[in-house]
Amino acid sequence: MTGTATAVDEVVDYDEALRRYDPVLGLEVHVELNTATKMFCGCATAFGADPNTQVCPVCLGLPGALPVVNERAVESAIRIGLALNCQIAQWCRFARKNYFYPDMPKNFQTSQYDEPIAFEGHLDVELEDGEVFRVLIERAHMEEDTGKSLHIGGATGRIHGADHSLVDYNRAGIPLIEIVTKPVTGVGERAPEVARAYVAALRELLRALQVSDVRMEQGSLRCDANVSLRARAVDGQAQDDVPLGTRTETKNVNSLRSVERAVRFEISRQAAVLDAGRPVVQETRHWHEDTGVTTSGRVKSDAEDYRYFPEPDLVPVAPSRETVAQLRATLPEPPGLRRKRLQGDWGYSDLEMRDVVNAGAVELIEETVDAGATPAAARKWWTGELARRANAEGRSVEDFGVTPSHIAELDGLVRSGRLNDSMARQVLDGVMGGEGTPTEVADARGLTLVQDEGALEAAVDKVIAANPDVAEKVRGGKVQAAGALIGQVMKEMRGQADAGKARQLILDRLGAA
């Protein structure tokens, strides 16, 4: 027996839990900035380099090394703060957060404590049904990332059961912004959805600011989800005036779907703990994607344990009001407004637009339309065909090597009548396989609709003659029956015919047009 590590937590059915308890959320999002160099030294930040090749005395914490603040990172921090409707500090300092962990060579993390660069803001979050919920932001502060530990020899890749561990310090010192919400109350059973929608909205905003590549799967955007429960009054009403319950903090949840699932699980688990008359333990928890549960991590330290103190090696950050005003002028159109504007321009329904946003395809579609595609075709390709393939292969559409101009060109080939839909999909296969542009692929594969009217007419006549019963139905006014004939004509033409033309011709021949 290894005690709690293997214990399976009891859970209460989610709806049941919601009848007795009211959830409160707190979301902490860490975002890695996309600056070329680290927060306090000139080391490169590119993802995926060989271990320990992007390090220097400063980020390795060697004696005597002195940090210098990355001005670009401070600018990004201020822009993020402004985009989140925060106040920007006139003067603030970094602080040392002292604790030992092997992936943190200085034995402290340079962070900010009671003097964050940005504070008191909000982000409006649109939920699935279009309702807008305002999440209050407590602060956004600057800090540095830690290195990465790699645990070798165990079954799970976790430290438990591993033979030994390796540490890669490439990530140590990469600029991070931590964005912390105030406790989110009053969302009831929608808590998991709000958590997800908040992270999605934040990701969209950060992407629009171009301050990070916000890839959750690579860890450049990470979410810690705090959850607590408050008992409801006997009549089932939420009680806003009673103190908050004890929270747990589920660490490093790395997809939107996981944020939603982890919050949902924690609500069910904490409800079972409280139902049994036990206290919720204030602790960090780990999310397990495969089993859909959280397990106990470490008992959470209080801030006092970190012995925060102002960082003596760095000068305070005191952005002038002119600088802040200049940075404010660089803010992009807020994503929510931009979405509304584009939806109007493109003529999409609310549902269509939501699909596009959920697929992260707004920019792709915008560029595709700019390159000459119709909005309908751009949407169809990116959120239909390409998103479907990406999902099936567990990849991201950006990784296919297909560009907006490829899609615009493909759409052009369809609209000019050279390709039908199924041929266009074959051309797309070729583009994804690196065979060239759509026109090159269509040429190389000999894909062109047969423009020869005579051949099409011959095929139509042949099919009508071979299916007198069906033809009779169409003659009698059953126009839907023509579908079967069109299918056969397409077969005769080995798929290389324009289905619309074939249909017209069949109806003409049968006097049903």
Residues in touch with Zn ion (CB under 5 A): 41, 43, 56, 58-59
Q: Which of 45, 228, 270, 383 binds ligand ADP (CB under 6 A)?
A: 228
Residues, the chain: 513
Report what 470 binds from ligand ADP, Mg ion, Zn ion, none; CB cut-off 5-8 Å by kind. none
Give the nearer residue to Zn ion in terms of CB position, either 107 or 396.
Answer: 107
User: Is residue 28 near Mg ion by the rule CB under 5 A?
Assistant: yes
- d(CA 169, CA 229) in angstroms, rounded, equals 38
Report what 59 binds from Mg ion, Zn ion, ligand ADP, none; CB cut-off 5-8 Å by kind. Zn ion
| CA distances, 400 to each of 183, 382, 444 (Å) | 40, 11, 20
Give the nearer residue to ligand ADP in terms of CB position, either 228 or 250.
Answer: 228
User: Is residue 247 near ligand ADP by the rule CB under 6 A?
Assistant: yes
Give the nearer residue to Mg ion in terms of CB position, either 112 or 343.
Answer: 112
Number of alpha helices (DSSP H) and beta strands (DSSP E) in the chain = 17, 14
Give the nearer residue to ligand ADP in terms of CB position, either 154 or 183.
Answer: 183
- d(CA 231, CA 139) in angstroms, rounded, equals 28
User: Is residue 249 near Mg ion by the rule CB under 5 A?
Assistant: no
Q: How many residues bind ligand ADP (CB under 6 A)?
A: 17
Q: 3-class SS at 459?
A: helix
Residues 6-25 that bind ligand ADP (CB under 6 A): 24-25
Q: Which of 226, 258, 343, 368 binds ligand ADP (CB under 6 A)?
A: 226
User: Is residue 181 near ligand ADP by the rule CB under 6 A?
Assistant: yes
Give the nearer residue to ligand ADP in terms of CB position, either 212 or 228.
Answer: 228
Question: CB of residue 418 vs ligand ADP: minimum separation in angstroms?
Answer: 55
User: Is residue 275 near Mg ion by the rule CB under 5 A?
Assistant: no
Contact (CB, 8 A) for 361 and 112: no
User: Is residue 115 near ligand ADP by the rule CB under 6 A?
Assistant: no
Say if residue 60 is exposed, middle or buried (CB neighbours under 10 Å; 0-12, 13-18, 19+): middle
Give the nearer residue to ligand ADP in terms of CB position, either 139 or 339.
Answer: 139
Give the nearer residue to Mg ion in terms of CB position, either 28 or 398.
Answer: 28
Say if residue 29 is exposed, middle or buried (CB neighbours under 10 Å; 0-12, 13-18, 19+): buried
DSSP E strand stretches across 33-174: 87-88, 95-98, 108-111, 118-126, 132-144, 148-152, 164-168
Contact (CB, 8 A) for 196 and 204: no
Give the nearer residue to ligand ADP in terms of CB position, either 181 or 368.
Answer: 181
Residue whose CB is nearest to ligand ADP in the complex, by number? 26
Q: 3-class SS at 341?
A: helix
User: Is residue 141 near ligand ADP by the rule CB under 6 A?
Assistant: no
Q: 3-class SS at 96?
A: strand
Q: Which positions ≥6 away from 37 have C-beta within 8 Å?
A: 43, 44, 45, 70
User: Is residue 146 near ligand ADP by the rule CB under 6 A?
Assistant: no
Q: Which long-range CB contacts under 8 A does 330-339 form with residues at least 24 apart? A: 330/79, 331/79, 331/82, 331/83, 331/209, 332/83, 332/208, 332/209, 332/210, 333/208, 334/83, 334/205, 334/208, 335/201, 335/204, 335/205, 335/208, 336/124, 336/126, 336/201, 338/208, 338/362
Question: CB of residue 421 vs Mg ion: minimum separation in angstroms?
Answer: 50
Q: Which long-range CB contacts under 8 A does 339-343 form with residues at least 24 apart? A: 342/366
Q: Which stretch binds ligand ADP (CB under 6 A): 7-15, 117-125, 241-249, 371-379?
A: 241-249
Q: Which of 244, 458, 466, 513 binds ligand ADP (CB under 6 A)?
A: 244
Q: Which positions ≥6 away from 237 have C-beta within 8 Å?
A: none
Give the nearer residue to Mg ion in terms of CB position, either 174 or 342.
Answer: 174
Q: Which stretch binds ligand ADP (CB under 6 A): 8-16, 104-112, 121-129, 244-252?
A: 244-252
C-alpha torsion angle, residues 344, 350, 351, 353 (rounded to 10)? 40
Report what 43 binds from Zn ion, ligand ADP, Mg ion, none; CB cut-off 5-8 Å by kind. Zn ion
User: Is residue 297 near ligand ADP by the rule CB under 6 A?
Assistant: no
Q: Which of 9, 16, 28, 355 binds ligand ADP (CB under 6 A)?
A: 28
Give the nearer residue to ligand ADP in terms of CB position, either 27 or 59.
Answer: 27
| Residues forming the site for Mg ion (CB under 5 A) | 28
- Residues lying near ligand ADP in the complex (CB under 6 A) are found at 24-28, 138, 180-183, 226, 228, 244-245, 247, 249, 300
